[in-house]
Amino acid sequence: MGEGIGVETVSGPKKSVKDWSQFVNRPSQALVIIDSVFYSWVMESPWALAEEISLVIFDEVHNALGGFPRKLVEMTHKVRTLNGVPGPAEGSFAAAPHPQILGLTASPVLHFTHYGTLVELLEITQCELVSVTANLHDLREKVPIPTTVAMEYNLSPAEAAFELYLRNMANEIHERNEVANHSLLKKLRKSYMATPAYLNKCEQLRAAALQGLNGRHDLFAFAVASFLLQVSKALMALEEESLEQAYNLVVHKSVFDCLRKDRYGAALLLPFLEGVIAVMRHIRERYPAYALRLGAEGAPTNSLTFSSKLLFLMQLLKWFADCVVSAKVAFRGIVFCDTRASAYRILGEIKKTHFNDIYKPSAFVGKGNALLNDEDVHMTDAAQRRVLQEFREGATRLLLATSVAEEGLDISSCNVVIRYDSCMTLRGFIQSRGRARLRNSIFIVMENMRRKWKVAKVAAKALAIQEELVSKAIMEQRKRLTVKQHFWEADPRWWLQQLAKQPWAIVWQKETKNVSSGVVGPWICEMVALIVEQRGTPREGSKKYEAVGTGSLWNARRKAEAALCDALGEAGCFSFAPEILAGPSQKLLKFLSRDLCVCQASTLSLEELRRLYAPGAKEVNVYNKFEWHPHTPSDFLLDEIRRRRLPKPEISAEHDGKPGTVCLRLSRRTLTGEIESKEIVETGDEPLEAASLKALRFLGVVFLTGVPCDMTQLLEASAMQHGGASGNAA
């Protein structure tokens, strides 16, 4: 910053200023603030963004594809659209509407092969992409690119045999008729084993199986999905941790609990489990020569409890430690791991060695709750700051980190970075390599020799690949800009929300699934905007505008919103634009069915809804499938958790021919950014839905009956409100 320019800092609960007014009244001219707090300030005082701010800088702007960064970008553009006030000085910057947006990122492209996310990012930010093309030698002098090395390891014969059996076993289960033809389980064949996508699909199928069929759980699907989930985790643990850990995951108590509750699942899976046990017994007998290997200290190491990949990493760290001692050079490094379990496992092994004193290692993981050996493992903000401070000061020289350390944190430059995990995205590769910013640094990617697709081969050309994809994205953006668009097309939903704030407008939304002859079809989103008559004004006569969208839930909403905005725009209903920031707090209503209204505390309080629309609205506390059909609380809960980017809920079930019992454990994010957890246990015919309903209440989402969803009733309710306020109701 320039001389004499003060800077205020806001991070979580620690604030040098508490709100906009305090910041504006201080002599400081810059504010560094985290996105969630900034968004809450903007929502409370939108005038401040419009009148007091000239430039908003988004670090790691590629995150603006969703969450708070996207909301902030969209809000900034709305202010620019409505404000358009030029700066005081001459020049292109001063002549542009304020606030202006500057986005910074070293990795605008997510994937190795396509650029769709970058095109979407450019549309959201409405920015031009600029990169350094001149004086690159000066850039490389200041920010050198580390030497990139791919180092391959090989599985031991015992590990290779166990991996082969698990993969063949999983493939055979997928091919069985009762699985391949099952309405839920057949979806697993579209995903690859031992990948995050496969784990997510298994979790989704477990939840879907507990939604019930004719009031009962589909325990067969639950058992098979649970078993394949454990097998997939075992394949990942086989490389990350040990053969013994992989075996324990397959024969975990939870697997046998599932089989005990369903005889059909037991009939299918027990032979495979017996095979796993037999293979492990054979490994112990057949490969005695591999029972012990030389570890990093030169001492025998049990191959069953020490994976080849981990052994390779330990030997690599020993070599670096010997170099540090012999050459008397400084060392600061990061080892990136897929899971917290891997990070803590490596940390524990290093602490057993003589080079622990050289590295003084620490784990660095995320703040979300996660279980490791039945213990809740996470780091608070204070713990993360302490570890990073020790890393800067040299008290800690090696971090065992998950992907949380890839970006968004002020981490000191390193001279050694090792990707112990799979590093499956171009962005992850570039971000982690960027941590090795010291001169003569090295970036190491560990690869399985048997893997067909090698990250390192593609990553070696990472910058060239990114530049090519960026060029294609820019061309795509320019083509789209040649098509003239209406101002509401950038964000139809936002404009509908602004319309709903006007005292003369009501926006109504209903989402249902098309069910014909027992077959569930696509989603149908119906939207209606009612422009209420106001006597004595140019707006005479009530008019209704309708739109319908079909497809997936997301596509149905977007189609309906766009179509409704087109109809309203042609009718001149968006002439209120200059008055948006001062509009009243009327909200868009959302219905899941004819009588079921959704109320989210973050957008419309229960008290406000009752005051505006339905004084007699009643909260739904008991699940009734006839009222909800075709929706379910569990589906809505999963959508809400994905939207808020919260940790996945943990679900367990019991069913012995009596009403089932479901235990659901979920988390929510507090205003300070901390994660708060709750466990909900429900028993009955639909325990998962009952638990999900309570879980949604925990997240601030309630469902109401008695809210007018018929247009005539809604018009009467609005007329009563306007009449009571101004005496000129329609």
Among residues 59, 42, 60, the alpha carbon closest in space to that of 51 is found at 42
The count of C-alpha atoms lying within 13 angstroms of the C-alpha of 544, restricted to the half-sphere facing its C-beta, is: 11
* Tokens linked to 454: 């090698």
For 215, 259, 621, the CA distances from 624, given in Å and listed in that order, are 11, 30, 10
Residue pair 52/20 in contact (Cβ under 8 Å)? The answer is yes
Q: Where are the domains of the chain?
A: 6-82+96-127, 157-293, 308-462, 492-571, 590-721
Give tens-digit pLDDT for 144-171: 778 888 888 888 888 989 999 999 999 9
CA 201, chain centre distance (Å): 15
Which pLDDT belongs to residue 92?
A: 41
User: At how many degrees (to 10) do helices 157-175 and 243-250 cross?
Assistant: 20
Which pLDDT belongs to residue 709?
A: 61
DSSP 96: S
Domain 6-82+96-127 identical in fold to domain 308-462: yes
Residues 6+ apart with CB under 8 A from 339: 236, 240, 402
* Tokens linked to 571: 């009718």
Which pLDDT belongs to residue 91?
A: 41
Token pair 């004086």 in the structure block, residue: 135
The arrangement of secondary structure in 308-462, i.e. its CATH architecture, is: 3-Layer(aba) Sandwich (3.40)
Which pLDDT belongs to residue 412?
A: 73
Find the helix or strand (DSSP H, E) in which 337 lies.
Answer: none
What pairing do the DSSP bridges indicate for beta strands 375-376 and 371-372?
Answer: antiparallel
For 159, 339, 560, the CA distances from 673, given in Å and listed in that order, are 41, 22, 34
Residue pair 235/202 in contact (Cβ under 8 Å)? The answer is no
Residues 6+ apart with CB under 8 A from 507: 496, 497, 499, 500, 527, 528, 529, 530, 588, 589
Which pLDDT belongs to residue 319?
A: 92
157-293 CATH fold: phosphoenolpyruvate carboxylase, domain 3 (1.20.1320)
Q: What are phi and psi of 354, to 5 degrees?
A: -75, -25
Find the helix or strand (DSSP H, E) in which 301 lies.
Answer: strand 300-302
Which pLDDT belongs to residue 214?
A: 47
Q: What's the CATH superfamily of 6-82+96-127?
A: P-loop containing nucleotide triphosphate hydrolases (3.40.50.300)
Could you give the CA distance from residue 263 to residue 301 in angstroms, rounded to a whole number? 41
Could you give the CA distance from residue 234 to residue 279 in angstroms, rounded to a whole number? 14
Give tens-digit pLDDT for 65-115: 888 888 888 888 777 655 544 443 334 444 456 788 898 887 777 666 667
Residues 6+ apart with CB under 8 A from 275: 165, 169
DSSP 490: G
Q: Which amino acid, residue 65?
A: L
Could you give the CA distance from residue 297 to residue 294 in angstroms, rounded to a whole number? 8
DSSP 663: E
Token pair 């209606």 in the structure block, residue: 528
> Mean pLDDT, consecutive 10-residue segments, the chain of 730 residues?
67 68 78 82 74 85 84 79 45 58 80 72 80 67 78 87 92 92 86 82 86 66 92 89 90 89 90 93 75 50 78 92 89 88 89 91 78 59 87 91 78 85 71 80 85 61 68 70 64 82 83 67 86 55 85 85 89 64 48 74 69 77 80 84 78 66 82 76 85 89 76 49 37
Could you give the CA distance from residue 680 to residue 699 in angstroms, rounded to a whole number? 13
Among residues 120, 125, 117, 7, the alpha carbon closest in space to that of 77 is found at 125
Could you give the CA distance from residue 79 to residue 491 in angstroms, rounded to a whole number? 13
Which pLDDT belongs to residue 483?
A: 55
Could you give the CA distance from residue 311 to residue 183 in angstroms, rounded to a whole number? 43
* Tokens linked to 167: 């993969």
